[in-house]
Amino acid sequence: MNNQITVTANVNADSKKVWDFYTNPEHITQWNFADSSWHCPKATNDLKVGGTYFARMEAKDGSYGFDFEAIYDKINIGQSFSYSFGERKATVELKEKGETTEIVVVFDPENENSIELQKGGWQAILNNFKKYTESN
**Residue 97 pLDDT > 70:** yes
Q: Are the beta carbons of 90 and 100 closer than 8 angstroms?
A: no
The predicted structure's pLDDT at residue 11: 98
How do residues 51-78 score in pLDDT, each as one tens digit?
A: 999 999 999 999 999 999 999 999 999 9
How large is the average pLDDT for residues 103-131?
A: 96
CATH code linked to domain 5-134: 3.30.530.20
Residue 126: φ, ψ to 5°: -65, -40
Q: How confident is the model at residue 2 (pLDDT cuts 50, 70, 90)?
A: low
**C-alpha distances in Å from residue 68, one per residue of 40, 44, 78, 83, 103:** 10, 11, 22, 12, 20
Percent of the chain with pLDDT over 70: 99
**Residue 1 pLDDT > 60:** no
The predicted structure's pLDDT at residue 85: 97
| Chain mean position to CA 114 | 19
Describe the strand order of the beta sheet including 88-97 as a list of residue ranges: 5-11, 100-107, 88-97, 80-85, 65-76, 52-59, 38-45
**Residue 3 pLDDT > 90:** no
List the alpha helices (DSSP H) in 9-136: 15-23, 25-31, 115-134
Looking at every residue in the chain, the average pLDDT score rounds to: 96
